[in-house]
Amino acid sequence: MHHFDYNNGTLMVENLSIEALTSRYPTPFYCYSANSIRQQYQAFTDAFSDLPALICYALKANSNQAVLTILAKQGAGADVVSEGELRRALKAGIPAHKIVFSGVAKTEREIEFALAQDILCFNVESATELQQISNLASASGHSANISLRINPDVDAGTHAKISTGKSDNKFGIPYLDALAVYQLAANLPGIQIKGIDMHIGSQISTISAFDAAIECLLSLIEQLKEHHINIEHIDFGGGLGVTYTDQDKSEQALLEEYSAIIHKHAGRLSCKMIFEPGRFITANAGLLITQVIHVKPVQKKTFVIIDAAMNDLIRPTLYDAWHKISPVLEPAANAVTQMVDVVGPVCESGDYIAQDRALTVVKSGEFLAIHSAGAYGAVSSNTYNSRRLIAEVLVDGDRDHLIRPSPSYEDLIALDSIPNWL
């Protein structure tokens, strides 16, 4: 259940009409439901409430300070992949002892900053990174808590660009090398072995992929025990899929299947558990609100040209992602539909939000809502074609707030600097 329904002929976000919001916020803008975020986080937490679990929200999905504040208040930890994300998490009140730091290549500066904050754990992705963390920790008199991210060589059955657990992906330490790298870790100064970690991909709906990967980690934990290396926590990463299309499984069903797999293995695990969900928490808590500029019929098709573009929401272009599109004003039950391409103003043929989509007939000036845009939407946006980053608005019950304004053109241009010798 998400908080975007028609009421009296207009699409609502919680108790507010989106049409009313468009009179105060120029389109395009992202619009999030605070209660959807809370509800998703709660559902995820409830699924593992009988286990010693810590939920570390993956900031990369949506790292707005207001979104993080909601989650911090719910008790969430954080999974970060850069100093910027670490700073965002801390600023929003997520305590360092609930923050894990992932990523294949943390810089020296990032490691030093994280050491100084005394974070819960570094998820280490190579022997060279382990050595680097050891050197920096010893030099600064710190002790670094580490997990090794294991690459279990499992196919997560998701889009190639977001699959991370196969042996030909750049992520993690090959499971065949894991024992040797743990043995190295056990002998390095400034290193405290805390856990074992995995993350096999994103938007995973073939839940059995998790099963195979966890099995791989469990046998490693047993092997490590024989070598007197003790694991205090297992980090399952993120990756749980969400519902984009009407054919997709419901999020509740996916969560139940996922939880059943974790519980199946829990008996063999006498350690704490960490989860890093991103998309599951925020994807369906956000809409991208846009206005139709032109409707352009050509010989073979009709283009609905909107004011949002690939620079605002890159997912359809990059991952062939399917996002539901609804008119903000509810169409009549017998409204005529037509097949259209919904495209933006950017000068690329790859600039589309939907292709060959059945949409009720729309006219210029009408507003549309693009669904499931709360994760990997605003965070992946950019200023291509010198378009301004778009605003983000949060709705909580009957209150709304501009949680990130759109920078001005002056701000955008002022970032450039002309050498005085030109």
Residues that bind ligand LLP (CB under 6 A): 58, 60-61, 79, 102, 162, 199, 202-203, 237-240, 276-280, 315, 319, 376, 380
Rounded-to-integer distance, Cα 25 and Cα 395, Å: 13
Give the angle 330-332-337 at the CA atoms, nearest 5°.
95
Annotated catalytic residue, options 56, 121, 271, 347: 347
H/E segment holding residue 360: strand 352-360
Block residue for tokens 């382990």: 130
Question: If 0-12 CB within 10 Å is exposed, 13-18 middle and 19+ buried, where does residue 262 land?
Answer: buried
Closer CB to ligand LLP, residue 14 or residue 79?
79
* Least CB distance to ligand LLP at residue 204 (A): 7
| Residue 218, token pair as written in the block | 């469990």
* Least CB distance to ligand LLP at residue 60 (A): 6
Query: What's the Cα-to-Cα distance from 324 to each of 247, 312, 359, 395, rounded to whole Å?
Result: 12, 16, 10, 20
* Least CB distance to ligand LLP at residue 388 (A): 21
Q: Do the Cβ atoms of 310 and 384 come closer than 8 Å?
A: yes
* Least CB distance to ligand LLP at residue 276 (A): 4
| Residue 225, token pair as written in the block | 């025990």
Closer CB to ligand LLP, residue 195 or residue 327?
195
Rounded-to-integer distance, Cα 405 and Cα 422, Å: 34
* Least CB distance to ligand LLP at residue 255 (A): 12
Closer CB to ligand LLP, residue 134 or residue 372?
372
Question: What single letter denotes the amino acid at residue 67?
Answer: V
Closer CB to ligand LLP, residue 4 or residue 280?
280
Closer CB to ligand LLP, residue 18 or residue 288?
288
Residue (of 140, 145, 149) closest to 170 by Cα position: 149
- Catalytic-residue membership of 121: no
Catalytic residues: 347
